[in-house]
Structure 1
Amino acid sequence: MKALLVLALSSMCLTAMADEAPTDVAQQQQPVEEQYTYSTHLDIANVVSMSEIPNVCEVVPMKMEYDDSKGQRHILRYSVMGNGCSNG
C-alpha cells in the first residue's frame, strides 16, 4: 500500500514538473520585437531572415529576424525606400 502511495505521489510530481518545462523554454525562445531608430544599438551575430524590398516608389516597412551574440532571437522593424523609383 505504501508503495502505491509513493508511486502516485511521484507521478503527480513528474506531471507538475513536465507542465513547467515547456513554459520556460517558450519564454526563452520568444523573439524580442523592436522598432529601429537611429539610437538603436544593434548586436547582430546571425541574420535569420529579411523581408524583400518591393518594387514600389514609396517608403515601405521591412522586417529582419536575427540572433544576437547571446543567442537571443530578435525581430527588427524598420523602413526603407522601395526599389520601384526611376531617375528619369
Structure 2
Amino acid sequence: MNTKAIYAACLFAALNICTLSARAETTATAHTYTYGTHLDIKRVVAVSQDPTPACGVVNARMTYLDSHDKTQVLDYLKFGDGCIGDN
C-alpha cells in the first residue's frame, strides 16, 4: 500500500470521528443545573457563555461526557468575566 493511500485512509477515519462526535452533541438535550443536581462528569468537552462581556450573572453552557461516555449538556448561571477592577 502506498503512502498516499495510507494518509487518505487516516484522514477519512479522522473526519468520521469528528462527524460522529458532532452528531452526538446535537442529539443531547440540555439540562438546567439546580442546587443539589448530581453531576456525573468524566470529561468536559466545551464550555461557553453569553458572548457579550457582562458584569453580573450570565448564562453558561457546559458540554461533557458522563461515566458512560454519553454526551450531556448542562445550562447554568455564572458570574460574568466583564467586571473591571472588581474582585
* CA deviation map 1:18-44 (0-9, x unaligned): xxxxxxxxxxx4213200011110000
Unaligned runs of 5+ in 2: 1-23
Q: What is the distance in 2 between the residues matched to 1:40 and 1:57?
A: 26
2:45 alignment partner in structure 1:
48
Cα offset, 1:52, TM superposition: 4.6
- 1:59 paired with 2:57, answer yes
TM-score normalised by structure 2 residue count: 0.59
TM-score normalised by structure 1 residue count: 0.59
Q: What is the distance in 1 between the residues matched to 2:58 and 2:49?
A: 10
Report how many aligned residue pairs link the two structures: 60
Unaligned runs of 5+ in 1: 1-28
Alpha-carbon RMSD = 2.1
- Contact kept? 2:49, 2:58, Cα under 8 Å: no
Bigger CA radius of gyration: 1
For the structure 1 residues 48 and 41, does the alpha-carbon distance in structure 2 shift closer, same or farther, using more than 3 Å as the test?
same
